[in-house]
Structure 1
Amino acid sequence: MRLYVILPLCALLTLTEQEHQHGKCACELSNSERAFPHEKLRRAESSASACNSNITPQKTVELESLLQGLEQRLGELHKDVQILEKEDDGELYGVLSLYVIENEMTEIKLLMDKLNSTTLGHQLLTANTSQQLENMKTEMEELEKFDSMQVIKGQQTIRSLTTDLDSCKRELGVLSQLPQGTCPRSRILNVTGPVFFTAGEYPGSYPYGAWGRDPKPEKGKESWYWVVMMTSNNRYSNYVRFYSSLSTLIIGVSVPGNVEIHSSNPATNTIQGPNNVVYGGALYYNCYDRDAVCRFNLTTKSVSTIELHKDTRYNSKANFCHLDECYPYTDLDLATDESGVWVIFTTALDFGNIILSNVEEGDPPVLGKTWQTSLYKQAVTNTFMACGVLYATRYVSEEVEEIFYSFNTVTGKERFSVGIFINKVSPNIQALNYSPVDQMLYAYCDSIMVSYKMFFK
C-alpha cells in the first residue's frame, strides 16, 4: 500500500496558464518564496561542529575534579597542623612534622597552579562559546522562518515528547523492578557523573588497567588509592601503584610508590589482564598463564592461589566484548562489595555463560559458593558487584555505556532490563570496580581514571 501526500503547493508556487500560437497551451511557473540561504545553514553547521569539538565531557568535569582534590588535600593539611601543635618532644617529631607539612603545601601549590590554569582556560572557552551560541541562535531563528509548513517545529515537538516518554519508562522500571541484595543499600537507582577523572602520571601510555580504593583498608591507609596498569602489551603487569590521597593521584605524586610482585614481567604469579581489585590489604588478580586467582599480600609480599572450576576458560578465550572489538585477557573479572571479593568467569561446560563465585578469606583463601547465570559473557563489556548483586554493562555508543543486567545472589533472580546509563569520557571501559567505602564506581577508560557516584534506595 502506498501513501500519497498532497502538499499545498499553491501557497508556494504561482501557476499562470498562457495560450500559445497554433492552439498549444503552456504554463509559466513562478516561485513566490524567497531563495533558501544554504550558505548560512552551512555556517551554522560548521559552528555547531566546532563547539562539539571544543567542549568535551573531559573539560566539563575537569574543574570539579581538581576542586575535589584540593578540598581533600586541605583537610589532610589541617589534620597534620593540629598534630604538630600538640607535639612537644625536644624538636625531633616537630621537625619531621614540618617536613610532612612542607611537602603537602608543595603539592597543594602544584594543585592550585593547575586549578588556576584550568580556570583561566575555561573562562576563555566560556566567553567564546557563549558568543558563538548567541550567533547560532540568531541564525537558526532566521532559518526557521523558511519553514513555512511548520515541519521542523512539529519534529521538535515529537522529539521532546519521545524523550519525556522514554525517561518516564526508565524511571518507572528502575524504581519498581531492580532487585534487592544483601545490605540496606540494595537497589541502584542511578549512576551520575563523571564526578572525577584524571589521566594520571602517564597520560595515554597504558590504555588497560584498573584503579580504586580498598573496601577494607589497613589502619592508616584509609585514604589510599591503588592503580594497576598493564605495562606489557596491554596484558601483563608485575606491580600495584599506590597514592596516599586523591590529590596526589591528580598531580602524579605516588606515595608510597610501587609494590612489586616480581622483578620480571610477566613471570609466575604476576598479573594477567586488567580486572583486578584490592581488598583487606591484598591484591586479587588473574594469575599469569593460569586458570586461577592470585592473592598478593601487600605486607608480607607472599602470593597464594585460588583454584577455579574445571575447564575454566582463560588466556583470552572468554573476554568481555562488544560488536566492534573484544578486550583481551579479560577472562576473569575480580570484584568487591560490602561482603568481600568475588570472581566472575566462565567455563567450557557452561555454554560461555557467566559464573559467579565468592572468595572466602583465609590462609590460603578458597573459592566459596558458586552461582550460574544465563548471561553470555562475550555479550558483556564489564561487570561489578554491589550489595550482593552482580551487574553487567554493555556498549551503547562512544559516549554511553548501559548497566542492563543484574543477578541477585539472594533470590537467584536475573533481570535483563535494568536500564541505567553511564556517561563516558572515552569509548572503552577496561575495568569497573565498586567501592562501598564511598559508594563510588571506579572506571579505567583508555588510560583515564574516572569515578561515578552511585545512588541506592
Structure 2
Amino acid sequence: MLPILLLLLSALSPALAWIPVEDWESGNVTASVGESGQCVCHVYLPETTFPADRVEHMQQVSKDLILEVEIQMNKIVSYEGKLEVYLKDLKDLTVRVAMLESSADNYIKLDFELLRIELREFEALVSQLKDSLNSSLPLFDSLYIEIRNMTLIVNQLETYDKSNLEVIRIEFAKLQKKLEECQKEQEFIKPDIGNCNHTGIMSISKPMVVQLNAHLNAGFQYGGWGKDSKPVRGYESMYFYGAYSGPYVYDFYLYSNYENLILRSAFKTHDLPNGWEGTGNNYIVHGNTIYYQHNTPLSMTKLNLTSSKYDYRVISSASTKFSYSYSGNQNIDFAADENGLWVMYASEESKGKIILAKVDEKSFGIEDEWNTGVFKQLAGNAFMTCGVMYATRSVDLTTEEIFYAFDTKTGEERHLNIPFQKFQEKYTNLDYNPTDQKLYMYNNGYYVSYNVRFDKE
C-alpha cells in the first residue's frame, strides 16, 4: 500500500516530490485506517522552505560583478593605448641614449640636462598611469628600472665629456641668461586676471608649442584649440580641440584638463550631425557653449555642450567674399574677452573692412556694431581683449605682428608694431582667453600658446 500512497502524495503535492525516497521509507510517513474506513496518511516533512531571497541576492551580486569586470576591462583597453604611447616615447629616449654612448664627446651639457628632464617627466607619467590603474604589475617595475638605468648612463656619460669644457661654459652662460630672462617674465606667470587696468597690449611672449594635434596628423592643418573663456563650475580646466584637412568643422573633442589633452584622452566628442556642420576655424568655447560658423545659411551657430542643443542666427550683411589671409571660409570670427562675447565679419557695404559686433548671449543676437578701418583680407586674424580689437598680419615666415587696434569704448583706432614669433608660417585660429590672459593659436597642426603682457603704466 505504501508505494501507492507515495504516488498519490507526489501527484497531490509537487513540493513533496523532491523528498528522497529513503526518507519516505524510514518512518517519516505512516498510514492507518480511519473510523469510516478511509486511508489516513501522516507525513513528517523536514525543512522545505526554498531560499528564494538568497538566490535573488546571488543573482544581484553576479550582475554587479559582471558590470565591475566590464568597467575594469574598459580601463585596461584605455590604459593599454596610453601605455603604447609611453613605450614609444621610451623607445625614442633609448635611441638617443644609445647615440650618446657611441659618441658622448659630441654632446654638450645642455643635451644631458634635457635628457634628464625628459626622463624625469617620463617617470612621472608612468607613476601617474600606475596610480590610475591602482596596479602593481611587473611591467611598471620594469619601466622604472629601465628609466633609472638610462639616467645612470646619462650621468656617467656626462663625466666623460672632457673635450667640450669650453663649449659647456659658453652654453652654461647662455642658460644663465635665459634664466634671468625667465625671472623678468614673472609678470607673465602671474597676470592680473579679469582686470583691464592697463592701456593695452605691450608685448607677446615667445611661443609655447605643446605638440601635434590629437590626430597626430600633420595634414590636419585647419582647426583650433583652447579653453572655455567663461567656464561653468567644475569645468574650469577643460580644453577643446577640433581640426580637419580642410577649412571645415565636423567634430569637437573635450578634455577635462591639460594632462588629458596631452594624452589625447577626451572625455567627450561631439560629432556635428548632418546639416549642422561648420566652416572656417574661428570658433571658441564660451559659457560651456561652442560658437562656430555655419554656411547654409551663413550664420552664427552655437552648440550647448550640456544639452547638446543647436541654434543659429543669420547675419544678413555678412559676406562670404572676405576671409583672413591664411585660409578660406574664415568669414565669421568669434572672440571673447573680459567684457563678453564678440563676432567679427566683413560685408559688401563695409567694402571688406572688418565689422565688430557685440553678441547678446541670452538672445543670441547682435547688441551693437562698430565699423573698423582694417581690411579683413590683409589680416592674418583678429582677437579681443578688454573691449579692444587687435588685428595681426605676417611680417615674414617666422614673424607675425599686431598692427592694428580698435577701441570700442572710445571708437579710436591705432596702428601698432608688436611682433611675435610663429612656430610655422600659417595658422588658422588665434584667440585670447581672459581666464589666463593667453593667446591660443592653432599653427599648421600644432597647439601653440602665448602669454600676453599689458602696459599697466
TM-score (norm 2): 0.59
Structure 1 unpaired stretches of 5+: 1-53, 55-59, 78-97, 138-180
Code of the aligned partner of 2:333:
D
Code of the aligned partner of 1:434:
Y
Contact 1:391 1:406 in 2 (8 A): yes
Larger Rg: 2
Q: Give yes or no for the alignment of 1:455 onto 2:453.
A: yes
Distance 1:100 1:329, change over 3 A: farther
Q: Give yes or no for the alignment of 1:380 onto 2:379.
A: yes
Partner of 2:323: 319
Q: Distance in 2 between matches of 1:73 and 1:222?
A: 26
Secondary structure, aligned partner of 1:248: helix
Q: What is the deviation of 1:390?
A: 0.3
Q: What is the deviation of 1:219?
A: 1.7
Deviations 1:319-378 (A, max 9, x none): 111xxxx4111111111111221111000111111100011111x411110000111111
Q: Distance in 2 between matches of 1:277 and 1:62?
A: 36
Q: Give yes or no for the alignment of 1:425 onto 2:423.
A: yes
Ranges of 4+ aligned residues in structure 1 off by more than 4 Å: 60-74, 103-106, 115-120, 122-125, 130-135
Partner of 1:344: 344
Find the partner of 2:305 among 298, 319, 336.
298
Q: Distance in 2 between matches of 1:288 and 1:104?
A: 50
Contact 2:319 2:347 in 1 (8 A): yes
Find the partner of 1:269 among 276, 300, 309.
276
Q: Give yes or no for the alignment of 1:238 onto 2:250.
A: yes
Contact 1:319 1:328 in 2 (8 A): yes
Alignment of 1:81-160 (within 5 A): 101-102=132-133
Partner of 1:141: none
Q: What is the deviation of 1:71?
A: 9.5
Partner of 1:193: 206
Secondary structure, aligned partner of 2:205: strand
Deviations 1:62-108 (A, max 9, x none): 9999999999999xx8xxxxxxxxxxxxxxxxxxxx998438999x9
- RMSD (Å), alpha carbons: 4.4
Q: Give yes or no for the alignment of 1:285 onto 2:285.
A: no
Distance 1:354 1:260, change over 3 A: same
Q: Distance in 2 between matches of 1:63 and 1:288?
A: 50
Alignment of 1:68-83 (within 5 A): none
Find the partner of 1:209 among 223, 243, 257.
223
Code of the aligned partner of 2:415:
F
Aligned residues: 314
Partner of 1:31: none
Distance 1:197 1:102, change over 3 A: same
Find the partner of 2:268 among 249, 254, 257.
257
Deviations 1:194-216 (A, max 9, x none): 23421132231310101111021
Distance 1:103 1:276, change over 3 A: farther
Q: Distance in 2 between matches of 1:375 and 1:318?
A: 12
Q: Distance in 2 between matches of 1:209 and 1:372?
A: 27
Q: Distance in 1 between matches of 2:234 and 2:323?
A: 37
Alignment of 1:174-193 (within 5 A): 183-193=196-206
Secondary structure, aligned partner of 1:320: coil
Distance 1:334 1:100, change over 3 A: farther
Code of the aligned partner of 2:391:
A
Q: Distance in 2 between matches of 1:339 and 1:105?
A: 50
Q: What is the deviation of 1:408?
A: 0.4
Code of the aligned partner of 2:324:
F
Deviations 1:129-171 (A, max 9, x none): x969969x9xxxxxxxxxxxxxxxxxxxxxxxxxxxxxxxxxx
Q: Distance in 1 between matches of 2:198 and 2:375?
A: 27
Q: What is the deviation of 1:238?
A: 2.3
Contact 2:247 2:327 in 1 (8 A): no
Q: Distance in 2 between matches of 1:197 and 1:306?
A: 35
Distance 1:248 1:396, change over 3 A: same
Partner of 1:405: 404
Code of the aligned partner of 2:419:
F
Partner of 1:15: none
Code of the aligned partner of 2:263:
I
Q: Distance in 2 between matches of 1:117 and 1:420?
A: 47
Structure 2 unpaired stretches of 5+: 1-106, 108-112, 171-193
Q: What is the deviation of 1:117?
A: 13
Secondary structure, aligned partner of 2:311: strand
Q: Give yes or no for the alignment of 1:224 onto 2:255.
A: no
Partner of 1:154: none
Deviations 1:283-307 (A, max 9, x none): 0010133321001111111111122
Q: Distance in 1 between matches of 2:150 and 2:422?
A: 21
Q: Which moved more, 1:267-276 or 1:369-378?
A: 267-276
Q: Give yes or no for the alignment of 1:358 onto 2:358.
A: yes
Partner of 1:32: none
Q: Distance in 2 between matches of 1:67 and 1:437?
A: 30
Distance 1:211 1:118, change over 3 A: farther
Contact 1:390 1:406 in 2 (8 A): yes
Q: Distance in 1 between matches of 2:234 and 2:351?
A: 45
Q: What is the deviation of 1:243?
A: 1.3
Distance 1:260 1:387, change over 3 A: same
Alignment of 1:29-44 (within 5 A): none
Q: Distance in 2 between matches of 1:66 and 1:361?
A: 47
Q: Distance in 2 between matches of 1:268 and 1:186?
A: 44
Q: Distance in 2 between matches of 1:70 and 1:222?
A: 27
Question: Which structure ranks higher in relative contact order (CA pairs < 8 Å, sequence separation ≥ 6)?
Answer: 1
Code of the aligned partner of 1:257:
K
Contact 1:306 1:366 in 2 (8 A): yes
Q: What is the deviation of 1:61?
A: 11
Identity of aligned residues (%): 30
Q: Distance in 2 between matches of 1:72 and 1:313?
A: 48
Secondary structure, aligned partner of 1:318: coil
Contact 1:65 1:196 in 2 (8 A): no
